[in-house]
Structure formats: C-alpha cells, structure tokens
Amino acid sequence: MVREAAALILVRDSSNGLQVCMLRRVATSSFAAGAFVFPGGAVDEADHELAISSCCFYQQQTDFKILACKVAALRETLEEAGILAANANKAGVVNNTLRHQLHEGELSFETLLIERAASLDLDSVMFYDHWITPEGAPKRFDTRFFLSKAPVNHDIVHDNKETDSSCWAAPEDILSLYEQGEVKLMPVTHVQLKRLSKFKSSDEVFDFAKTQQNIPVTEPIINFGKEGKPVSVTIDLNEGVVEYPVFQKRA
C-alpha cells in the first residue's frame, strides 16, 4: 500500500546564508529511524476538508489534492517542529498546549486555527518535488515536497515524541556531517539538501522553484544483492543517475 504524504522544506535567511529546518526522528521510529528529515507525514481526510474551508485561501492553485497536501505539510510542521508556517496572521504563535492537543488528536487543525484567529496562505507554499518510495520498501509513501519561508522569530521546538533533536542549519553543513558519518540522511533528503546548497537565499530558492513546470515523479529503484537483500537504490534525477546505499538505522 502506498500512502499519500507531504513534507515541508522550511527555509529562512541568516547572516551566514540560507538555512533549513531539520528534525531528527527518534531511534525507535518505524520509518527513517535516527535520520534528520524535513517535517512531514501522511495526508489525512481532514486535510482535504480543511483545504477548501474558510481557514485557507489561495488563488494560484486549483488542484485540490495539492491543496490538501499543503495543509498536511503545514499541520505536520506545527506538530513536529512547533512552527505554524504560511500563517496570514504573521504575529500568531501556537502555544505548546494547543500543539500537544493537535498532535494527540484531541484538537483538530481547523479548530486550532479558528481559536488562534489564524488562516493559511496556501499560495505562499510552493509545490517543489514529488517522490514515491520504491517497490520492496517496508513502508511506501507518495510524497509531495513543498517550500515555505519560516515566520520571523519563530524557532524550532521538536516534539520529543516523533523527533528528538532539531536545528536550523545550512544545507552544506548537514551534508558535511553526513559525509563524516555524524548524521543519517535518507537518499531523498540528501538530494534535496544538495539542491538547496546551491542557493544563497530563500528568494533564490523560490525564484528557481517558480521556473519548474510539470514536476516529474521520482521513483527510486531498489537493487538487491546475491542473498536477496536490498543493498542500494538507484535514482534517475534531472542531474543524472545516482546510487545510494540502503538506509540504515542510527546505531
């Protein structure tokens, strides 16, 4: 079964250049355990309903699946990182109590937005990339990646449930730590960070993203060894064909 999912590449500008929001998944996670990832998760039916409610506004997008994925990416970012991105009420901050209730399913995202007098500007969330987990993987997701600029002065607060560490980091710094064996990255995250490392500012990223039309689906292929165990994945990218070792959990 392939499950619909969405992830948010949340970026901001710093005195040292572009930074991206990164979270480390807990070692006990059933997916990407111990890896640094972008906030994201499965798309729920409530995300589809919220996307066409009065809590969301948009002019540029008529694909309702994309709209629901944008809502899911924003919801997951609030749950996992404590940041409500794309909020038209830029001063609005969600307290930890409401965030916890949302995470536990005790409060709907729509109710939270209403209580905080918030609304989601879905035009400020840009569809950026689309990947499907390869056949043969224990869990498969059809994931759309989105870009959004972080609200000013809102810092990351990981949830200590699904994630146990968080940071704002320059893409090249995370890539360097990966090369040194200091952090774990899924292949898709590594690819996105390499692309982001070419840009000096969030405006540059968005200017590039605006030029992308008819975003293709990237579908990695698992390569199996002699014993029938997966050993690597091959990915056909616009930049060329690349190969990564199969992701291993953090020791």
Q: Which domains does the chain have, with CATH numbers?
A: 2-214 (3.90.79.10)
User: What pLDDT shows up at residue 40?
Assistant: 95
pLDDT per residue, tens digit, the chain (251 aa), is: 899 999 999 999 999 899 999 999 998 887 888 999 999 999 999 999 999 999 999 987 678 999 999 999 999 999 999 999 998 876 566 788 888 899 888 999 999 999 888 999 999 999 999 999 998 888 899 999 999 999 877 788 888 888 999 999 999 999 999 999 999 999 999 999 999 999 999 999 999 999 988 899 999 999 998 888 889 999 999 999 999 998 765 44
Closest CA to 71 of 125, 151, 23: 125
- CB burial readout 155-168, b (16+ within 10 A) else e: ebebbeebbbebbe
- Long-range residue pairs from 122-125, CB within 8 A, at least 24 positions apart, any chain: 122/51, 122/56, 122/57, 122/58, 122/61, 122/67, 122/70, 122/71, 122/86, 123/57, 123/58, 123/59, 123/60, 123/61, 124/86, 124/148, 124/149, 125/8, 125/70, 125/73, 125/74, 125/85, 125/86
Instruction: Report which residue type is found at 54.
Output: S
User: What pLDDT shows up at residue 248?
Assistant: 66
- Tokens 């991105």 correspond to what residue? 85
Closest CA to 187 of 226, 219, 139, 149: 219
Closest CA to 72 of 11, 137, 19, 148: 148
User: What pLDDT shows up at residue 116?
Assistant: 86
User: What pLDDT shows up at residue 13?
Assistant: 94
The answer to whether residues 250 and 26 touch, using CB atoms and an 8 Å cutoff, is no
User: What pLDDT shows up at residue 155?
Assistant: 81
User: Percent helix, strand and coil across the chain, each rounded to 5?
Assistant: 30, 30, 40
User: What pLDDT shows up at residue 249?
Assistant: 56
User: What pLDDT shows up at residue 251?
Assistant: 44
